[in-house]
Structure 1
Amino acid sequence: MRSATINRHTSETRIAVTVDLDGTGAYDVHTGVGFFDHMLEQLSRHSLIDLHIRTDGDLHIDEHHTVEDTALAIGAAVAKALGEKRGIRRYGDALSPMDETLTRVALDISGRPWLVWKCPFTIQKLGTMDTELFQHFFHSFAQAAGITLHVETLYGDNNHHIAESAFKGLARALRQAVEIDPRKGDAIPSTKGTL
């Protein structure tokens, strides 16, 4: 089973995350931030990665530490569950439409974390969540997971749709990339022999 649990405890947050890369998209997510929970549920459902998250963060200050540390824990759990990355497809991409919005996501499980983010928001909050935290989530996740990640909203007007299409695009691209390719056997998908 390609699964992992990460417990992250700091003076700002206490987090427990479990992922199963070969799941069915089952989720049980509680971060204390409603819109963030909704996005993480989309990530799980559309990636088919089972996701169990319990975050207790310093929400009396703001939502920054909760979002950042949850992203780091999810990324670390994905990296741990991938292990040596033997047999995975490695690359994934998705065009993710949501009504008037279209977002493109491409990623490489390369071991070289990077984020290119081109998703403009025109309002400061969705629910109680600052829209600037979406970029921070994707950056922190990519860093901890060791993923090169490109996210670009090609067009769209509704800020809810822009955020949701980015998370669904990440989910679908991640689903492709973590899948075992039967043609690769247990080979590491790199000419270097390591990722």
Structure 2
Amino acid sequence: MRQANRKRNTAETSIQLTLSLDDQKEPQIDTGVGFLDHMLILLAKHSRIYLNVQAKGDTYVDSHHTTEDIGIVLGLCLKEALSDKTGIERYGSAYVPMDESLGFAALDLSGRSYLVFDADFENPKLGDFDTELVEEFFQAVAFNAQMNLHLKVLYGKNTHHKIEALFKAFGRALRQAISINPEIQGINSTKGVL
């Protein structure tokens, strides 16, 4: 089983995260940030991975530290669970409509960290969640998983729908990229490593 379990404790947050790339059990998410819980459940469902995230953070300040630190730990767990990446597809992409909004994600599990984020959110808050933290979350995931990640909202009006489309698109692209293809011999790279 390709899985990982990590803890991260700082003066600002305490994160416990478990994931399994080959298990579709119901996700167990409790971050203390309702909107983030919703997005992580969607991510787990659409990537078809098991995700258990238990977090406590300084949400009396705002959701920034909690959101970013969960992204860091998720990225590290993805990197660990993928190990040497033998036989994986490596690349994934997906368009996902969410009512009037359309989101796109493309990623490469290349071992090189990069984020291109192209999305405007008219509504600065959803509940207690600052929408600018969506980019912070994905940057933390991409840099710690060492993936090249491109995210774009092509169009839309409703901020919730735009963000949901991005999380679902990311999940579906991730599922593609982590899938093992028996036709791939070794590592899917001319360099021989990812």
TM-score (norm 2): 0.98
Q: Distance in 1 between matches of 2:108 and 2:79?
A: 13
Measure, in 2, the Cα distance between the counterparts of 1:15 and 1:138: 17
Q: Aligned residue for 2:169?
A: 169
Q: Which residue is 1:146 aligned to?
A: 146
* Residue matched to 2:65: 65
What 5-or-longer segments of structure 2 have no aligned partner? none
Q: Shift in Å at residue 20 of structure 1?
A: 0.3
Aligned to 1:132: 132
1:90-112: CA deviation from partner (whole Å, max 9, x where unpaired): 00000010111111110000011
Structure 1 stretches of 5 or more lacking a match?
A: none
The DSSP-based 3-state class of the residue aligned with 2:29 is strand
The DSSP-based 3-state class of the residue aligned with 2:190 is: coil
1:26 and 1:48 in contact (8 A); partners too: no
2:180 corresponds to 1:160: no
Q: Please report how far the alpha carbon of residue 62 of structure 1 lies from its aligned counterpart in structure 2 after TM superposition.
A: 1.2
Q: Report SS of the residue matched to 2:107.
A: strand
Name 2:74's counterpart in structure 1: 74
Secondary structure of 1:95 counterpart:
strand
| SS of alignment partner, residue 51 of structure 2 | strand
- What is the match of residue 35 of structure 1? 35
Matches within 5 A, 1:95-134: 95-134=95-134
Give 1:42 deviation, angstroms: 0.2
Contact kept in structure 2, 1:25 and 1:47, CA below 8 Å: no
SS class of match (2:23): coil
Aligned residue number for residue 192 of structure 1: 191
Question: Deviation digits for residues 44-87 of structure 1, max 9, x if unmatched?
Answer: 01100100000111111111000000010011001100000000
C-alpha distance in 2, partners of 1:26/1:91?
25
SS of equivalent residue, structure 1 residue 36: helix
Q: How far is 1:25 from its partner? A: 5.4
Identity %: 48
SS in 2 for 1:76: helix
CA distance in 2, matches of 1:53, 1:176: 22
SS at match of 2:154: strand
**4+ residue runs of structure 1 moved beyond 3 angstroms?**
none
Which residue of structure 2 lines up, in the alignment, with residue 15 of structure 1? 15
Does the 8 A contact of 1:121 with 1:159 survive in 2?
yes
| Total equivalences in the alignment | 194
Letter in 2 for 1:154: L
Q: Counterpart of 2:178? A: 178
